[in-house]
Amino acid sequence: MNKLNRTLLIVLGIQVLLAVAAWALLHRPPVEVKKTKFLSVAQADITAVDITAIQGEDEQEPIRLTRKDKGWSLATADDFPVKQEPVDKLLALMDGIKVDAPIATTAASHVKLNVAKDAFDRKITVTAGSKKTTFFVGRGGRSTACVRMDGSNDVYEAPGLSVWDINSRSNAYIETKYVDAEEGMLSEVTVTNPKGQLQFKKQDGKWTIPGMEAAPVAPATKKDTAAVKVPDEQAIASLVRKLASITIAEPVGRTAKKEHGLDNTTVVTLSGTKDDKPFRITYTVGAKLDNHRIIKAADNDFIVRVSAYSVDSAVDSVVDNFLKEPPAEGESEPAEPEGDMGDIPPEVLQQLQMQGMQGMQLPQ
């Protein structure tokens, strides 16, 4: 065998070895990266969870969920009762955080990944007995978040975790209905406010004002502009719907404070019949704080904050707001529109409008 042939055989052998090695690399099983639990605290041992968020540039007051003998409650609102389901979901979410190698190991990366001490999306402190564990959660990529344990520079990616799954608002963990009286079961509503008293009664399925429901009022004519006003059933019904269904924006606590304004107030009384039994609901409307009002029901130990839109009409209205000119001769009463948009809070209407705009396709 001459020298050329030997060289060719050697080259061929090398090519075969390379091909075998490449095949082996392509077909070997993938190396499984071992993930570990981010939190070493067992769910059953957790006795409290503090959640803080930053909105804009301001750090919100934290909410504190605590485990009691009878279940969980909001310690930041004098142990306001908490629903078990959202707490269980939160605990399972935290317990399910698993990480592998850190994606960043320097303090300089914390702000960028939203896990810095003063620049985060969520700060969570978990208490288990005497042990406290604090960590930060920041927005990551799609369907992921970034997590960092307080005191460590290491930042980890947490697949399947979203910042928005960790709610920092107390009303996400409670039963939010504070006043719940079905309008159809109500027969009388009385409002006493600084301007006087409003009283409405239902007769023949329509709301009216006592003393005016049977008053003979001649229809107005084009020449008669001084006709006696009559009760505006639609305006009354709209007010009743708002006052009969009040949702909690935030529980406040059991102790009334001067700034709550519950001593110089408006009182709402709802009377009616449910399951053939009479009922009465009375609550007091207090101070206005930003876009909210403080209210306290007579049969409830807790003071709460609600949307001012729900109760402002009771505070500011007088009888004349619920009177109208009778229809002119030959005219009929306008039908009440289906789904009274006037009963939808402005912030909800704005959100609906924004959703509609997002769904629109702009011209190219």
Percent of the chain at pLDDT above 90? 64
Q: Please tell me which residue, 141 or 32, carries the higher pLDDT value.
A: 141
pLDDT at 57: 80
Locate CATH 2.60.40 in the chain: 36-172, 177-329
**Mean pLDDT throughout 41-54?**
94
Q: Which residue carries 């609600």 as its tokens?
A: 306
pLDDT confidence tier of residue 328, bands split at 50, 70 and 90 = low
| Spatial separation of the C-alpha atoms in residues 189 and 181, rounded to whole Å | 11
- Which DSSP state fits 165? G
Contact at 8 Å (CB) between 66 and 96?
no
Instruction: Pick 36-172's CATH classification: 2.30.30, 2.60.40, 1.25.40, 1.10.150.
Output: 2.60.40
Q: Please compute the mean of the pLDDT values over residues 189-196 and round it to a whole number.
A: 95
pLDDT tens sequence across 103-124: 999 999 999 999 999 999 999 9
Retrieve residue 139's tokens.
């927005």
Structure tokens at 123: 């700060």
Asked whether the predicted pLDDT for residue 32 surpasses 80, the reply is no
At residue 196, does pLDDT exceed 60? yes
Which of 280, 335, 337, 283 lies closest to 310 in space, CA to CA? 283
What own/partner pairs with CB < 8 Å and gap ≥ 24 does 196-204 have?
196/318, 196/319, 198/314, 198/317, 198/318, 198/319, 198/322, 200/236, 200/239, 200/240, 200/322
Helices (H) and strands (E) in the chain, counts: 5, 24
- Give the pLDDT confidence of 264-311 residue by residue, as tens digits: 789 999 999 998 899 999 999 999 988 999 999 999 999 999 999 999
Q: Report pLDDT digits (tens) over 70-91.
A: 789 999 999 999 999 999 999 9
Q: Mind listing the pLDDT tens digit for each residue in 227-278?
A: 578 899 999 999 999 999 999 999 999 999 999 999 878 999 999 999 889 9
Q: Indicate the CATH number for domain 177-329.
A: 2.60.40
Q: Is 151 left (phi over 0), alpha (psi -120 to 50) or beta?
A: left
Place of tokens 């939160």: 90
Write phi, then psi, for 136 (nearest 5 degrees): -115, 145
Lowest mean pLDDT among 140-149, 165-174, 218-227, 241-250: 218-227
Q: How confident is the model at residue 213 (pLDDT cuts 50, 70, 90)?
A: low
